[in-house]
Chain A
Amino acid sequence: MSDAFFYIFATLTLASAILVVANRNAVNSAVFMIVSFLGMASLFVLLEAYFLAVIQVLVYAGAVIVLFLFIIMLLDVKGGDRQKFRPVTAIATLAAAALLFTGVGVLYQAPSLAVAPPADPGVGASLKDFGALLFTRYLLPMQVTGFLLLIAMIGVIVLSKRFDASKQGPTA
């Protein structure tokens, strides 16, 4: 049963991924990307990685794609002509394909796959464990991330907002 679902969602993910590249209209591409992400999220569900699936939908299919669409609308990107096919592209594609096949081949032959998976799925598998670890062992990195987001926010305001000098106090 879950095998059938895997093939359905894998086909969905791959087909929409191809459409993202093949489509001439940038908005259509972005929308197909959502479909691709949703397919990937379903694959995560099949692997029982529910948290990853939720994040995939919320962050990628939600926030990131909205950002893409915003920029496409803002810049008013037109389809335009397809770029000419260059030999460099073919070489790069071949190299990438060779890498992929070598990787998959190595993976199938590796002795490590023969090792039985641990009976205990380990921490981090469920959302509760994940949250608990985040607030105990990794509390410090989480706090530092808070500062990271704070300066990122301040940076966006400082760099993009028009500065009104009249509202500033006297200099020195």
Chain B
Amino acid sequence: MDYQSLANANTWSAIAPEIALGLLALGLLVLEIVLPRAHHRLIPRAALVGQLALLAGLLFTISRDAGFHGASFGGLLVHSGIGDAFRVFFLLTSTLVTWMGIGALERQTLPRVEFFHIVLVVTGAMMLLVQSHHFVMLFVALETVTVGFYILVSYFRSSTSLEAGLKYLILGALSSAMLTFGIVLLYGVAGNKALPGASANALGFDALHTFLTLNAGNTVAIIGMILVLCGVAFKVGAVPFQIWIPDVYQGASTPITAFLAVGSKAAGFGVLLNLVTQVFPVGDSVLRHGLVFVAGATILFGNLAALTQRNTKRLMGLSGVSHAGYLLLGVTAATYPAAKWASGAVVFYLFVYMAASMAVFGVLSHLAKTDDAGLETDEFVDLGKRSPLLGGVLAVGLGSLAGIPPLAGFIGKVLLFIAAFQAGLYGLLGVAIAGVILSIYYYFGWIKMALFEFTRVVPREPGALELEIRAMPLGGRVTLAVLGLATLVLGFFQGPVSQWLNFG
């Protein structure tokens, strides 16, 4: 075997954004050693500026269509338009998480730099994860993301935060075990020389796809595929793998809750889209029925469980489960030839979901008390009067999550529903619409509490529920305003974005 030619297949320039993120992460640690202690507060800002610069570079490369497309590293990674979209998505998410993290860590006596370091490493790993085309690469990237989140979830070291970290560790390990078991079964059965299409390199997605198409009814292969999908379903929080969500979301600090809700979920969906559209021949098999069933159950469970929630972080977590359900609807639709464009709709919905969720989490993170265990919805009384910006952005974000026209969330949902209609998933479509109607109840309960005077029914003691509203620096106000505006604008005008996300 010629190792030199193997080494030459390693196209390092193809993963320049990921390498830059890794270097930035390492640079932060170096800065902490080199800089005098009085200047240490510059390090998180350096992380922020570095990410913004990287984002600008990435957008420039994409706009010039100058990025590397195709397979690199001997087929470990495959770069495509959808991969570029996910890169931008993760970079935007991590920038916003860094911004929230700066604010949240200022109120704590905790080590700072390591937080941003881990956020950057996890972001780079998520980028590699959605572009991986080989199970070795996929597993290594996924474990890097997961281990990073174990640390980030328990970073604040309060008892709730540590408990959340432990729960996430145990359930995450369980999901990794299922995923690995599935991969091993697939590798084993696809390496069986007695079967047609067997390959010695069955961990690569192309060889595996050939094998699975030729052996559509193979029981071991089906069990393997189901186990792999279960492992991924854990990451996106689909029913019945959603049990960890409320506790972990509540225990983690708000910036990390946002990172989990947006970044980790999107990474899971990136992998899922890859697997069901390119690797697993979903066809008319048990897999498709499973996907349809899980999507419906996820939508219903998320919305019903969120109905009675008062704690805002748990509410966001459980309503996030329902959003995972809508996204699964899109992913299922994308497996039908009639609705192949649904992958683009899923990515569009992820962007819309990020803008809206980050607006809500940004407000939550700013209002959080020192313990950061999440506020009750009742505590938002008069928010709109006391701080119009926070109240307005919160209302726009929640309205978009509920899918109210003319906000972006409405368009995102409509696109997913059209795809489901074209795919002929009428029953699931009915469930999804019922879910949207249910969600209006709890989202608007919260908006009503924050904006409208007449909802205050119980005369309360003066100051009992009074929230302390800190002054917000200009950068923070601008960021929140941009998030709110993005949600508004994307609701009216999607031209360039939908063109970019048209993956066919």
Contact = CB atoms under 8 A, between A and B. Distances in A.
B143 A148 contact: yes
A154 interface: yes
A122 to B, nearest CB: 7
B288 interface: no
Interface stretch (B146-154, B261-269, B373-381, B481-489): B146-154
B7 A159 contact: no
Contacts of A62: none
B123 to A, nearest CB: 11
- Please tell me the size bucket of the interface on A: 35 or more
Of A144, A145, A159, most buried by chain B (CB within 10 Å of CB) is A144
A151 B192 contact: no
Given A139-B10, A154-B117, A165 B1 contact: no
Contacts of A155: 114, 118, 147-148, 150-151
Contacts of A169: 37-41
A123 B117 CA distance: 37
A168 interface: yes
Contact of B151 (A115, A138, A151): A151
Of B110, B143, B144, B165, most buried by chain A (CB within 10 Å of CB) is B144
Given A140-B137, A148-B147, A155-B150, A168 B193 contact: no
Contact of A163 (B41, B109, B141): B109
Interface string A119-145: 000110000010011011111110011
The secondary structure that dominates the B interface is helix
A98 interface: no
A150 interface: yes
A165 to B, nearest CB: 4
Contacts of B74: 137
Contacts of A132: 1, 3
Given A136-B7, A159-B157, A169-B37, A112 B194 contact: yes
Contacts of B41: 169-172
A71 interface: no
A148 B144 contact: yes
B76 A140 contact: yes
A172 B121 CA distance: 24
Contacts of B495: none
A111 interface: yes
A141 B3 contact: no
Contacts of B449: none
Contact of A168 (B40, B147, B165, B194): B40
B143 A163 contact: no
Interface in B83-117: 102, 106, 109-112, 114, 117
A145 to B, nearest CB: 6
B241 interface: no
Contact of B106 (A118, A158, A172): A172
B150 A150 contact: no
Contacts of B194: 111-112, 114-115
B22 interface: yes
A108 interface: no
Interface string A13-30: 000000000000000000
A168 B113 CA distance: 11
A151 B121 contact: yes
A154 B15 CA distance: 25
7 contacts: A135-B7, A138-B136, A140-B77, A141-B76, A141-B136, A141-B137, A151-B117
Given A140-B15, A158-B111, 8 more contacts: A112-B192, A140-B128, A147-B144, A151-B121, A151-B151, A154-B117, A168-B40, A171-B106
Interface of A: 111-112, 114-115, 118, 122-123, 129, 132-133, 135-141, 144-145, 147-148, 150-152, 154-155, 157-159, 163, 165, 167-172
**Which 8 A-B residue pairings sit nearest by Cβ, starting from the closest?**
A155-B151, A169-B40, A136-B6, A165-B109, A112-B194, A141-B140, A148-B144, A169-B37
